[in-house]
Structure 1
Amino acid sequence: MEFAAQTPRQEAPCPAELDEFAVAFYERTLGRADFCPSGIADELGVPRQRAEQAVCVLRELRLVKPAEGVVDRLVAVSPEAAQMELLVPLEREILDSRRRLAGFKGQLSSFVAAFEKQARTRAESVVITDDQEEIELRLLEAAQGCTTEVLVMQPCVARETHELRLARPLVLEALRRGAQARILYPHTARGDSVTRAHLGELLPAGGQVRTTNEVRDRFLVFDRKTAFIPAGEGDAIAVVYEGAVAAFLAGLHARAWESAFDFDSGAAGYAGTMEDLKATLLDLLASGAKDEVIARRVGMSERTLRRHVATIMQDLSATSRFQAGVLAARTGLVDPALRSAA
């Protein structure tokens, strides 16, 4: 079946800017059989160019029109007549658009039941894909159907992945529809200007944001029904349509949320979380974890991690990472239980 290409609709022109002179010009033309713009300009003692500008405004508002049978002469029109000519067609067009909108809504509602039935009987419980377009479509589907809450755990915006970047405007839209959103970032996100700029939009919309000393991984959960989690080391994403998995991730999020710190957009820098971050770094250093592992656990780049480690070593007067770990253990700055678990 072929469909005819739709031609773009022409928008109605916006009226030119109205000023007091245009009103004064119009008042001077009232009660005359016809008039010449230059004559009105002479009467008002203004340049003719200004009179022509006023005429342009009045023409667009349909308050003047050419006089019949007389060249280069105009006649004033009453506002009521101008309204009939200018506004009635626009109001009719608005009414037609509303009827078309209602018609489209009625037609689309016929497909809602079929869609919901398909969603309830979805054959696949897990879809693994690295196709960016498919990921975007599945994110859009989950977000548009979200009515209660969105849960997010992610690194700072500067290090976010493709699906998290796509999810940002969708989370904002879910908030505007009345859903709740709770987002967990690592403490290091507090020092990231791009993250703070994004949170400047998220917080006023009603989103709740906290930071924690460790973000083990990233995931999104919509309504505890659909989850988006990494699938391996590449760009592949596992979309899980299984309530039990989504509920499990929601539980992980809730436990991390309890010990996390509220994010205050007005507070500068790490805002009191630096000691918590420093303690976590010391624990991981004492465990012997590699830089790559530590950086991923706390949500920062390896370069930033090395800068923090250098500062910690300087504070402890340590000449090596091992010595820093030993000194931290002796002074009680690390948690032995956490170190053995790590």
Structure 2
Amino acid sequence: MFRNLGGEDMATKSTNPAHPHGITELCQAGARLYASALRLGRIARADIEAAPCLIDFALLHPDPDDAAWLRPVPPSVALAQHLHPLEREILERRKHSVQLTESFEPFMDISTQGPPVTHAITVLEGVNRINAALDQATAECRTEVLTVQPGGGRIEDRLSKSLDRGLSVVQRGVRMRTLYQHTVRHSPSTLAYAERMADSNVEIRTLEELVERLIVFDRTVAFIPAQDDRQVALELRHPGLVEYLANVFEQLWNRAAPLREEIKYEPIPLGISGVQYSIAQLLIEGHVDDSIARRLGMNVRTCRAHVAKLAAALGSNSRAQLGYLIARSGILEQDS
């Protein structure tokens, strides 16, 4: 049976481009005229101009005695003609499935002899698949969850999902440690989330700069993003990789400050704040506003406001002059 590009039998589709429909969706005119032809035994050719599909689907054929008339094909005969290619295709597919089963059967016993293979790295594409993997790891977690959440305040919807997932873990007695950036200290939604998560097994700390997003469950499986748009993630189960990432977390954790404790900055002259001091460091390194904002977990507008205050404190009139004045002021040398 010939097929069109869509894989549909040509016999099941009307060939008239102005009258497109399948035989299972016979138009009203076609159904009415076919019923009339069956009742009367024939129908005038001129009467079926509104339903050329009757000819396309072989429901009518020319009257051998008079070319101006058409005779109906009995429904049982028409049905058999259209079912035959489908039944043949089903038979061929069943035969193919049997052949596939026979081809793979010798390998089935081999694959069941050893322990199941766990992929060291699994690519998770799409938000739904990522969330499904996280939900499974959350359900299987028994001792500890480590999370790094860079950026500023969290979106309400995302916090709501994190709250449900987090509470399900904490209620089982699992310890949970989370690292945010200092900017979340000014985010009401994130602070409200912290209140809801308050528990002896929950600790939250903040740091000025963080690595990219990271979640580690029981030091056996870790999740990291694979693209900036967060539509693709990596599920890591190689012991060496997971342990390395857990050690990175511990180093960041030891440098971080508890969320509810005030951050103590060393006094800096000229009225420059700790955030502006960090921005000055990044400006000297050549970072632009977008990069600085992303690294410090703030929006670009806030970053530019801090740059403006830094420029005013140093008496700068231009971006180029600001870099020179930062270096000349010696404020970055205090740290060393």
TM-score tier by shorter-chain length is 0.5 to 0.7
SS of the equivalent of 2:216 reads: strand
* Root mean square deviation, CA, Å: 3.0
The one-letter code matched in structure 1 to 2:289 is D
Q: Partner residue of 1:151?
A: 146
SS of the equivalent of 2:331 reads: coil
CA separation of 1:186/1:219 partners in 2, compared to 1, >3 Å: closer, same or farther? same
Instruction: Give yes or no for the alignment of 1:254 onto 2:272.
Output: no
Deviation of 1:307 after TM superposition, in Å, equals 1.5
Deviation of 1:236 after TM superposition, in Å, equals 1.0
- Structure 1: gaps of 5 or more residues: 1-116
SS of the equivalent of 2:173 reads: coil
Distance of 2:303 and 2:152 partners within structure 1: 17
The one-letter code matched in structure 2 to 1:328 is I
1:125 aligned to which of 120, 127, 138:
120
2:236 aligned to which of 230, 236, 240:
240
Q: Partner residue of 1:334?
A: 332
Whether contact under 8 Å (1:149, 1:180) holds in the other structure is: yes
CA separation of 1:233/1:156 partners in 2, compared to 1, >3 Å: closer, same or farther? closer
Show the 5 A alignment for 1:22-101.
none
1:170 aligned to which of 165, 171, 181:
165
Distance of 1:130 and 1:322 partners within structure 2: 43
1:306 aligned to which of 304, 307, 319:
304
Deviation of 1:336 after TM superposition, in Å, equals 9.8
Distance of 1:188 and 1:157 partners within structure 2: 5
Whether contact under 8 Å (2:282, 2:292) holds in the other structure is: yes
TM-score normalised per structure 1: 0.56
Aligned length: 216
Distance of 2:226 and 2:156 partners within structure 1: 13
Q: Partner residue of 1:139?
A: 134
2:183 aligned to which of 184, 188, 191:
188
SS of the equivalent of 2:219 reads: coil
Higher mean C-alpha deviation, range 296-305 or range 165-174: 165-174
Q: Which runs of 4+ in 1 moved over 3 A?
A: 120-123, 156-168, 270-276, 335-338
1:315 aligned to which of 313, 316, 326:
313
Deviation of 1:331 after TM superposition, in Å, equals 3.0
Distance of 1:292 and 1:161 partners within structure 2: 23
Cα deviation, 1:63-105, whole Å, max 9, x if unaligned, reads: xxxxxxxxxxxxxxxxxxxxxxxxxxxxxxxxxxxxxxxxxxx
Identity level (%): 30
Deviation of 1:155 after TM superposition, in Å, equals 2.6
The one-letter code matched in structure 2 to 1:314 is A
Q: Partner residue of 2:210?
A: 215
TM-score normalised per structure 2: 0.57
